[in-house]
Structure 1
Amino acid sequence: MKKQLYLLILLASLFSACDPAPATFNLETKNFGPNAVITIRSAENGETLKVENITNTNQTFKINIPVKGYATLRTEDGTHKGEYYFYLDKGSYKGILDGKNINSYPLKSVPTKEGEQFIDFYKLKDDMSKNLLDSLDIVELELDQATPSNIMERAKNADRWREKKILLQLNIIKAFAKKYPGSAHTLFLLEQLGNTDSEAKNYLSIFNSLDKEIQESKKGKNLLKEIKQASQMMAGSKMPNIEGENPDGKKFDLSILKKVNLVICWTSYNGKSRKNNQLLVKLYEKYKNKDVEFIGVSFDKKRDWWVNVIKDDHLTWPQYSDLQGAKSPNAKNLSNYNVTYGSSKKVGD
């Protein structure tokens, strides 16, 4: 009997040793409506890990088998939503969720150094962004209340402030990277911002400020590859070589370039490409004698389809294709595998 008892105790201890400690959330929740919810998801694969109704009390809940990695804590209260990044691991998380102040980072105490760095990131964000966010709220409200006579002016003003917001977000990440050059969080934050195509130079500047170990990590190498790809497609950048031939069998020749060149990547079977062709024909007639050249690069595989559309849509600017479809080097070098894509290039840059 004693042997069986010892065996049960041993098995129980083994199971408890194998069972990871949970991530426990102790949150003070207040000022939310009756149907508000908290959702915790993995930021890496989108898996929903926990959904809880907000009770406007001291709430405690657990994620029993947490997987280390980036996660989001999201609140939804009607149309009001808040979303915050954090680093998920086992241990205790404490904080305050306030429905009247959703811009405030809710987590005040976390179990790991990785998590503490996120608290610092959001402190930087609060310090650097308050005035701009207040101004953006004002112009967004003005846009909502616009009349037909002033809607264009207010829309342009809102766009300017949105651009300022993107630059501010990059500056916040830059400040964080300077404080934590050895943190992989910077790679994650840049990835989540998702403006590599339009802000390649700023991305590269931030990337170069990181420790070599972070740069040479798998995520670091992937981001650098993305930055370099985006740099190739920016207006004014040096244009990669165009592979393939024109319908007459001639290879791409730099002599066709003018002061400004618009590279248009397309396919004959893409509806958006065909619709764009109608607009491009008119634009080409307007600009072709003003030191501007259009250059079509097709990702087609079937020569007949490609040539027939050139004829049917009256595309009179230079056209090239290697007829390799998505496997074409042009797809990678000129449009990052996107159709339809246009980019302007200057001669000599």
Structure 2
Amino acid sequence: MKLHYLILAAMAPVFVAAQTPNFTLTGKIGNLNKPAKVYFDYTENGNNHMDSADVVNGAFKFSGNITGIAFSRMTLSHDGKGKNNEIYAKGAGDVIYFYFGAENIKVTSVDSLYNAKFTGSKVYNEMLAFDKATGETVMAINRTANLVMERATPEQQKDPEFFKALDVQVKGKTAARKDKLVQFAKNNPDSYFSVAGLTEAFNAYRVPVTDIEAVFNKLSEQQRKTYAGINLAKLIEANSTTAIGAKAPVFAQKDTTGKPIALTDLRGKYVLVEFWASWCHPCRLESPNLLKQYQIYKEKGFEILAVSLDSDKGRWIEAITKDGLTWPQVSDLKGSGNEVAKLYGVTAVPANFLVSPEGKIIAKDLRGEDLNKKLAETLN
């Protein structure tokens, strides 16, 4: 008993020191009061943190301890209905995304987080310079599109040409950012945001891994050895193990009832390993096409094994039911940390791999008409 006490006593000073906050974030948004609440979710070095604070006379504060650069999402619920109400708002909720470091940061605005000004953060200023060089982020592009749809007239909301034009605008903006991400990394080999940009180019825009690797290898050693740099190196390596022609990594996870399903259980069929999530809008948009193809080819030896990057079982099951998905579904409910996703080097959804009856990857990242053509030539 004394031994345990002595060990704990010896550890106590270390524990206190480790918990000393090395960043603070103080905010002042107008004169808001309860039920207004701010939610602060951030990730650094693989560690996820969630916090929240009531807003009193417009003020709120967060503090914590981080060892690297963190990526965060901050949400202000003006009416107290919770962060999901803002994140999944029909139009554009009061949500912002930003990077920060071990700094004393101040966030101020007269009305909303989205219009807030940041001071005291060198990392945030570097992020602004990065975004200025590369263009609007995916979140900003989607927010603008959501606002356009929300403000559309009843006639526009019924007009396919209206949505087609909006889609062209969105794709044009994202394509412009795609090219600039790689160029930024070439021009700034000692910037943390070069690693972030290459990771985004690889995950969100499917830039060929050979192009990513060539630029990554020319970044400074300091950046390549950051947590983000090590993760990108792992993604590059994982991509080589899931190249077309490679043997598909085997795995097993539990379905919605807790029953394990393995990829090897489906050996002898063409299997589309489909990575998705209930919160992924592009994934859900693809569901009707997947349903159609599944109906056409199921009796010809085709199967879908869906791996969800959800963390909320209720939302996962609700999406399956709402979309009418009838193929096997598995998840470990670890969100973006899904173990199968790590195995396949998947950090963004939708993503998929078409596996032959012998267990080899014969195609990847197929959607819409590209998927339909591949299934037709393979199974007809």
Decide whether the 8 Å contact of 2:42 with 2:48 is kept in 1. Answer: yes
Please list the CA deviations of residues 220-259 of structure 1 after superposition, one character each: whole Å capped at 9, or x if unmatched: 32343467689x7xxxxxxx5599xxxxxxxxxxxxxxxx
The count of corresponding residues between Structure 1 and Structure 2 is 259
SS at match of 1:95: strand
Match of 1:160 in 2: 168
1:1-349 equivalences under 5 Å are 17=17, 19-30=19-30, 34-43=34-43, 47-63=48-64, 65-77=65-77, 79=89, 80-89=93-102, 91-97=103-109, 99-100=111-112, 102=114, 106-110=117-121, 116-125=122-131, 129=135, 136=144, 140-141=148-149, 144-147=152-155, 151-170=159-178, 173-174=181-182, 176-178=184-186, 180-191=188-199, 194-197=203-206, 199-200=207-208, 204=212, 207-208=215-216, 210-211=218-219, 213=221, 214=223, 217-225=229-237, 240-241=244-245, 266-267=270-271, 275-276=292-293, 323-324=357-358, 328-329=359-360, 331=361, 333-335=362-364, 342=371
Decide whether the 8 Å contact of 1:70 with 1:88 is kept in 2. Answer: yes
CA 1:146–1:59 in structure 2 vs 1: closer, same or farther (change >3 Å)? same
Match of 1:248 in 2: none
Decide whether the 8 Å contact of 2:99 with 2:127 is kept in 1. Answer: no
> Structure 1 residue 154: deviation in Å?
0.7
SS at match of 2:56: coil
Decide whether the 8 Å contact of 1:298 with 1:321 is kept in 2. Answer: no
> Structure 1 residue 22: deviation in Å?
4.0
Q: TM-score, normalised by structure 1?
A: 0.53
- Which stretch of structure 1 is more off in the superposition, 32-41 or 160-169? 32-41
The one-letter code of the counterpart of 2:127 is F
> Structure 1 residue 172: deviation in Å?
5.5
Distance 2:159 2:118 in 1: 39
> Structure 1 residue 276: deviation in Å?
0.7
Q: Percent identity?
A: 11
> Structure 1 residue 40: deviation in Å?
2.2
Decide whether the 8 Å contact of 1:190 with 1:203 is kept in 2. Answer: no
> Structure 1 residue 29: deviation in Å?
2.5
Decide whether the 8 Å contact of 1:124 with 1:172 is kept in 2. Answer: no
SS at match of 1:93: strand
> Structure 1 residue 156: deviation in Å?
0.6
> Structure 1 residue 141: deviation in Å?
4.0
> Structure 1 residue 62: deviation in Å?
2.2
SS at match of 1:43: strand
The one-letter code of the counterpart of 1:30 is G
